[in-house]
Amino acid sequence: MRRTPPSRAVRARPASAAAALALALTTTLVLATAACRRASPGEVGARTRIVLRHQPLWGDPAPFRALLAEFGRAHPELDVVTELLPNDSDLLRQLYVTALDGGDASFDVLVLDVIWVAEFARAGWIADLSDDLPPAELRATLLPGPAAVAVQDGHTWAVPWYIDVGLLYYRTDLMAAPPRTYAALASTIREVQRAHPGMLGYLWQGRQYEGLSCNAFESIWGHGGEVLAPDGRLVLDSPEARAGLAWLRTLVAEGLSPSSVLSAGEEDARRLFQSGRAVFMRNWPYASGLLEQPGSPVRGRVGMTTLPSLDGVRPGAGTLGGWFLAVNAQVSPARRHAAARLIAHLTSPEAALLMATAYARNPARRALYADPRLRAQAPFIADLLPLVEAARPRPPTPYYNLLADTLQGELSGAVIGLRSPGRALSRSQQQIDHLLAGSP
C-alpha cells in the first residue's frame, strides 16, 4: 500500500464560519447548521477522517504538528484534522454540551477538563474506551489522581493528556526564600513594596468562574479545612472554610492583591506577572514556559513552589487540574476505534515527554518524572512530582458543574465584599444540599 504523504495524512484547518459563530455564540441553531452541512463527517474517499478539537497549546506549534505527522505516517488510512477551540473553559463546556446533547457527530476526539469527565460519561456523551485502552493498564502507569478520573466504575472514559496543579510563583530576585505561611506571604509583600513602590503583591484568579473555585478550595485546604465528608457529602460551611475564604477577601481589602484580580483569569495573571510588576502569582505549570521565553522581563528570576498554608508545617495543597482526551459517543464504531488509536498516540510516554519539554505540560505517567531526558530538558517539570502527587481533586461528582454554578456566585460575592464569607458559605451549603437532594 502506498503511504499517503504527511501533508495529506495530517492537516490543520481553521473552524468553519458556522463553527466560529458557535464558539462565540454557542447556540443550538449554529451548531445544527454546521452539523447539517457536514452530513458525512467521517469519510474522505477510502480513508477515515478523524477530527481532533483542542485549545491552543501556547508555544511553537511545530512539535505538536510533528507528533501528529508521526501518527499520520503510521496510519495512512486516516486523515487527522485539528480544530482550535476557545481557551475559556466555561465557553468551551457550553459549546460541548450544546453539540453533544444535540447528537453532533462532526468531531471525534475532544479535550475535557478533569471536572467534566464524570459528568460527560454519565450523560452518555463520551464513549467507553475500555476495549482499546484497558483500565488495568492505565491504572498501572498513571498517577493515582488522574487514574481515578480516567477509570470510573471499572471503565475507561478518558485518558489524561496532561495534568496540572496549582503553584506559587515568586520572584527569586526579590526574596531569599519563598514564604511557607500566609502570614509570611503578607509580610514579604509589604517588605518588597516598601523597597519597590508600585510593585503589586499576589496575583490570582478571582473572576467568577472555575478558577475562583480552585483558589477557594486551595485556601480552604491551606487553613486546615476539608470539603468532602467521609460519607462523600460536600461540606462547605465550616470554620476552616470561612477562614480560607476570608483570607482571599483580606488579600484584596488590605492591598496585598490588586483589585484587578477580581476580574482576572489565568492569562490575565500570567501577563501581569510576566511584565515584572508583581511579587507572587498563583497559576498552573504551563505559565513557567512562557515566563522563561527569550525576551520575557522575568526570565531567570522566577521560582515555583507549593502554595502557603496557615502553619507552614504541611505545605498548601494545589488543586488537581488537567485535560483529558475522550471520544465522542455519537461517532461510528470504526471512527471510535480510530479515535482511540489517536488518543493512545497522543498520550504515549514519548508524546507526554514532548508535551512536557515543548509546552511545559505535566505528564500523568509517574515513570516519566524519573526519565533522564525530562530531567535534562525540563528539570522544573521533573521536580514537580511531589506537588502533583499531593494535588487534591475537586469534589468528584457528575453533578460538580451544577454545583459549581451555585458555588462560584457565592464565592465571588464574598471576595468582592458583597457578603461575608460566613454568609456566602452558608448560602452555598443550603443551595448545594437542596440540589443534591433532588439528584438521581
Q: How far apart are CA 81 and CA 11, in angstroms?
A: 5
Residues 346-360: tens digit of each pLDDT: 999 999 999 999 998
Banded model confidence at residue 160, pLDDT cuts 50, 70, 90: very high
Co-location of 128 and 185 in the same domain: no
Tell me: do 58 and 16 sit in the same domain.
Answer: yes
DSSP one-letter code for 197: T
Q: Round to whole Å and give the CA distance between 177 and 158.
A: 39
State the alpha helices, DSSP H only, in 347-420.
349-359, 372-377, 379-382, 385-390, 400-415
Which pLDDT tens digit goes with each residue over 312-331? 999 999 999 999 999 999 99
Residue percentage of the chain with pLDDT more than 90? 74
CB–CB of 49/281 below 8 Å? no
Q: Judge whether 391 lies within some domain.
A: no
E-assigned strands of 138-295? 151-152, 155-156, 159-165, 167-171, 200-203, 278-283
CA–CA dist 354, 376 (Å, integer): 13
Based on the fold, state whether residues 305 and 183 are members of the same structural domain: yes
Distance CA 158, CA 129 (A): 7
Could you tell me if residue 393 is inside a domain? no
- Between helix 17-25 and helix 89-101 the angle, nearest 10°, is 120
Report the C-alpha gap between 62 and 375 in whole angstroms: 22
Q: What is the largest CA-CA distance in the chain?
A: 71
pLDDT confidence of residue 59:
82
pLDDT at residue number 23: 41
Same domain membership, residue 146 and residue 39: yes
Bridge partner residues of 163 (DSSP): 322, 362
At 37, is the pLDDT very low, low, confident or very high (cuts 50, 70, 90)?
very low
CA gap 169, 178 in Å, rounded: 9
**Residue 105 domain-assigned?**
yes
Q: Is residue 394 part of a domain?
A: no
* Confidence band of 113 (pLDDT split at 50, 70, 90): very high
Assigned domain for 410 exists: yes
Q: What CATH number does residue 368 fall under?
A: 3.40.190.10
**Which domain, by its residues, includes 75?**
6-162+322-385
Q: Are residues 330 and 415 in the same domain?
A: no
Q: What is the mean pLDDT of residues 232-252?
A: 93
- Tell me, yes or no, whether 390 lies in a domain: no
pLDDT one-digit tens code per residue, 123-152:
999 999 999 999 999 999 999 889 989 999
pTM of the predicted structure, to 2 decimals = 0.78
Domain count of the chain? 2
Do 265 and 139 sit in the same domain of this protein? no
82 belongs to a structural domain: yes
The yes-or-no verdict on residue 155 having pLDDT over 90 is yes
Does the pLDDT value for residue 18 go beyond 50? Answer: no
| Residue 124 sits in the same domain as residue 246 | no
CA distance 118 to 151: 10
Last residue of a domain, one of 342, 359, 385: 385
Range 155-166 average pLDDT: 96
Same domain, residue pair 327 and 309: no
Same domain, 231 and 135: no
Q: Looking at the structure, do residues 268 and 148 belong to the same domain, yes or no?
A: no
**Which helix or strand (DSSP H or E) is residue 345 part of?**
helix 333-346
- AA letter at 23: L
Q: How far apart are CA 340 and CA 112, in angstroms?
A: 15
Per-residue pLDDT, averaged over 23-49, amounts to 46
Q: How far is 132 from 343, CA to CA, in rounded Å?
A: 10
Cα separation of 72 and 342, whole Å? 9
- Is residue 392 in a domain? no
pLDDT of the residue at 6: 32
Q: 326-377: per-residue pLDDT in tens?
A: 999 999 999 999 999 999 999 999 999 999 999 989 999 999 999 999 999 9
**Residues 107 and 201 placed together within one structural domain of the fold:** no
Task: Write the DSSP symbol of residue 45.
Answer: T
Contact 390, 415 (CB under 8 A): no
If asked whether residues 204 and 225 sit together in one domain, one would say yes
20 pLDDT above the threshold of 50: no
